[in-house]
Chains A and B, each alone.
Chain A
């Protein structure tokens, strides 16, 4: 079946460091891929998405490229801030299915 695997956290970085959170997936078709973010005490919100191979999603300085050849959708940011501290979830969805398949989430801690 479909699945999403994220790197385990927590990931702890200093402010202005480069961030990569790995996400790989297995899917039978051509899914859409998402990154959601959950700030402390809040619900999840969409950070970025990509709907086909080689698409790059970007938002708030974060980027992720849909790589079909490596079945990956890694999240990157060039210079993180303390305010980026949150839990990041990778997810996929098949167009024919109402369900999102979620990764376990990666907690990111940014120290000043």
Chain B
């Protein structure tokens, strides 16, 4: 039981390049989330998927797209990376909304030059 896994662990991009961050969970959770974490700013929600087949914008969606590929997998795509997207990205999942615990992956550290 791996929980929430993310790939890659670390990535360096040049401005304008694209990439996809992968996330998978094996807990049969319905809801999945993408966050970014920047120093002094806590966690900010980029996108979430309440259930398979649905996605919604969070607090900071600009510059990102997501795909809920199936119940297990939720990917985050940067179409044209910018230095402002340098951050640590976390994927999380939960059984449902509201008071359900969110389980986090180990994070992807992204540096955009």
- Answer yes or no: are A and B bound together in one complex: yes
Mark the stretch among A19-27, A37-45, A69-77 that contacts chain B: A37-45
B74-113, CB < 8 A from A: 90, 92, 97-99, 101-107
User: Counting CB contacts under 8 A, is A94 at the interface?
Assistant: yes
- B104: which A residues are within 8 A, CB to CB? 43-45
- B56: which A residues are within 8 A, CB to CB? 98
- B106: which A residues are within 8 A, CB to CB? 42-43
User: Counting CB contacts under 8 A, is B34 at the interface?
Assistant: no
User: Counting CB contacts under 8 A, is B60 at the interface?
Assistant: no
Q: Is the CB of A93 within 8 A of B98?
A: yes
- B4: which A residues are within 8 A, CB to CB? 43
The count of chain B contact residues (Cβ–Cβ below 8 Å) is 25
Quick one: given A42-B106, A102-B43, A105-B42, are A95 and B101 in contact (CB under 8 Å)? no
Interface string of A43-55 (1 = CB under 8 A from B): 1111001010000
Interface string of B3-16 (1 = CB under 8 A from A): 01000000000000
Count A/B pairs, Cβ under 8 Å. 59
Q: Is the CB of A99 within 8 A of B58?
A: yes
8 Å CB contact of A95 from B44, B58, B98, B102: B98
Chain A residue at smallest Cβ distance from B6 = A43
Q: Is the CB of A95 within 8 A of B40?
A: no
User: Counting CB contacts under 8 A, is A83 at the interface?
Assistant: no
- A93: which B residues are within 8 A, CB to CB? 97-99
Q: Is the CB of B42 within 8 A of A104?
A: yes
A69-112, CB < 8 A from B: 89, 93-100, 102-105
- A98: which B residues are within 8 A, CB to CB? 31, 33, 48, 50, 56, 97-98
13 contacts between A and B (CB under 8 A): A32-B99, A42-B107, A43-B92, A43-B105, A43-B106, A43-B107, A46-B103, A89-B42, A95-B97, A95-B99, A98-B97, A99-B58, A100-B43
List the interface of chain A (C-beta within 8 A of B).
32, 34, 42-46, 49, 51, 89, 93-100, 102-105
